[in-house]
Structure 1
Amino acid sequence: MSQTHFYEVNIQWKDARIGELSSPVLNQTIECATPPEFPNGVPGIWSPEHLFVSAINSCYMATFLAIAQNFKVEMEDFSCKTIAKLEMVDGKYIFTQAEMFPVIKLTNPDKDAVTAHRLAKKAEAGCLVTNSMKTEIIMTAQIS
């Protein structure tokens, strides 16, 4: 398998500050807009800022699940809340920090809890999205 991959995402402007994201390899589109915190922002629609944070969450989940499967750690449930801080630094908005709160419910907590804590940290270190960002990542896993 090649070590280089390409991902194409297109956007088409619809109206005002609203666009529609698509990819030639995906079946769904996503409407996105400037968030309401900015001038002329649109409430209730995914924003680039939400998509940035969702990239952290979805990559972490995919990485954790892959590693857990490799280590044969079985789960009943996985969820993760991530809160990212956007602030003005040197005249530019940047995400300075993202705090992640994964909640992992194991099938066999007595057997797998120690391993799952180790794998949660391993997934944090191996997440390609967060490894590609300047944003500080803080993770507090809850495993039961």
Structure 2
Amino acid sequence: MSAHASTIEWTRAVNPGDATTYSRNHVATLGAGQKIAMSASADFKGDPQCADPEQMVVSALASCHMLFFLAIAELKGFPVEHYTDHPVGHLEKTDKGLAITRIVLAPRVTFGQGKQPDADTLAQIHASAHKRCFIANSLTAEVSLDLGTA
């Protein structure tokens, strides 16, 4: 169907937080030339000012879910005015080693005036978005929604 590519580039340098080891900082260049400063997680001697791969996986999932949610809500006659999410991925030990085992999405959605779906419809839209999200379909991590109150 489609291919999605990026370039990862790293050059040896001393780790600014630990002179006994190398820097984990690198650059991801996406298809249109956008550059993302990346590193390992701070838990693994990375630079906390950079994106880490775990954050990128969690963000990719949240972004995919949101894009499907927006499309489905629009088709159902519930145009979204604002959407925010604070997803959290849990890196845990498994029999295969460390893995992101759980991701909790916490979307908060504001709809246009007079176009608020009821709780059941909102849950159905989220369920449909989750089912269609190809990032979610690619992960083994358990994905759950914390819909809380907006």
- TM-score strictly above 0.5: yes
1:17 corresponds to: 24
CA contact (8 A) 1:74 1:108 kept: no
1:97–1:111 distance in 2 versus 1, CA, 3 Å: closer
2:36 corresponds to: 30
CA contact (8 A) 2:24 2:47 kept: yes
For residues 1-144 of structure 1, the aligned pairs below 5 Å read: 4-14=1-11, 15=13, 16-23=23-30, 25-38=31-44, 40-90=45-95, 92-108=97-113, 112-113=117-118, 114-142=120-148
> SS where residue 112 of structure 1 aligns?
coil
Q: Distance in 1 between matches of 2:84 and 2:76?
A: 19
1:98–1:110 distance in 2 versus 1, CA, 3 Å: same
CA contact (8 A) 1:20 1:31 kept: yes
Give the C-alpha shift of residue 69 in structure 1.
Answer: 1.8
Q: Distance in 1 between matches of 2:94 and 2:70?
A: 35
Give the C-alpha shift of residue 11 in structure 1.
Answer: 0.6
Give the C-alpha shift of residue 35 in structure 1.
Answer: 1.0
> SS where residue 90 of structure 2 aligns?
strand
Q: Normalised by the size of structure 1, how large is the TM-score? A: 0.86
CA contact (8 A) 1:117 1:143 kept: no
Aligned-partner residue type, residue 4 of structure 2: Y
Kindly, what percent of the aligned residue pairs are identical?
Answer: 24
> SS where residue 81 of structure 1 aligns?
coil
1:109–1:83 distance in 2 versus 1, CA, 3 Å: farther
Which structure 1 segments of 5+ residues have no match?
A: none
Give the C-alpha shift of residue 91 in structure 1.
Answer: 5.4
Q: Distance in 2 between matches of 1:74 and 1:111?
A: 9
> SS where residue 37 of structure 1 aligns?
helix
Q: Normalised by the size of structure 2, how large is the TM-score? A: 0.83
Q: Distance in 2 between matches of 1:109 and 1:97?
A: 35
Q: Distance in 1 between matches of 2:67 and 2:57?
A: 16
Which structure 2 segments of 5+ residues have no match?
A: 14-22
CA contact (8 A) 1:104 1:141 kept: no
